[in-house]
Amino acid sequence: MINKERLARRRAAKGRKPSFERPESWRYVRLETGWRKPKGVDHHQRKQKSRGRPGLVKVGYGGPRDSRGLHPSGYTDNLVYNVRGLDALDPAKDGVRIGHGVGYRKRLEIAARAVEGGFRVFNARVEPDGS
């Protein structure tokens, strides 16, 4: 695995971050728990009026800048739509994700060229060693 130090720093920063919940999602079953910003004029969580309320999402909770955009494997995540997209990438540090709108035939071409070049392909079910 590459970039182990960066991933470790990102994991440590994530451990210090509170779990952000959607306001009142613990109260009503119909509300999902995913974060939504409270936008009401008098909203208790936005104003941080009472104790015990979950924190607000703020820019200071972001992870380390050097580890942003890294796939959990340690490679950078690059979206590729054609074979020419592989030319500017380095197989030692860049991983490949084939675009959603790419058809089956071109997807096979990109995956074959990526395996030849030794790239890590995240969404094509192929490995760099061809197995």
The CA-atom distances, in angstroms, between 46 and each of 20, 28, 49, 71, 92 are 13, 19, 8, 33, 45
**Nearest alpha-carbon partner for 38 in 60, 52, 55, 17:** 55
pLDDT in tens, 33-51: 999 999 999 988 888 877 7
Contact 95, 75 (CB under 8 A): yes
Question: What's the Cα-to-Cα distance from 27 to each of 34, 47, 90, rounded to whole Å?
Answer: 14, 19, 49
Entry field: residues in the chain: 131
**Gyration radius (Cα) of the chain, Å:** 21
The CB-side HSE value for 76 (13 A sphere, CA atoms) comes to 11
pTM of this prediction exceeds 0.75: no
Contacts of 45 (CB under 8 A, 6+ apart): 23, 38, 53, 54, 56
Cα angle vertex 13, ends 92, 4, to 5°? 25
- Tokens for 123, please give them: 């969404």
Domain boundary assignment for the chain: 76-121
pLDDT of the chain, 131 residues: tens digit per residue? 789 999 999 999 988 888 888 999 999 999 999 999 999 999 888 888 777 778 888 888 888 999 988 999 999 999 999 999 999 999 999 999 999 999 889 999 999 999 999 999 999 765 555 54
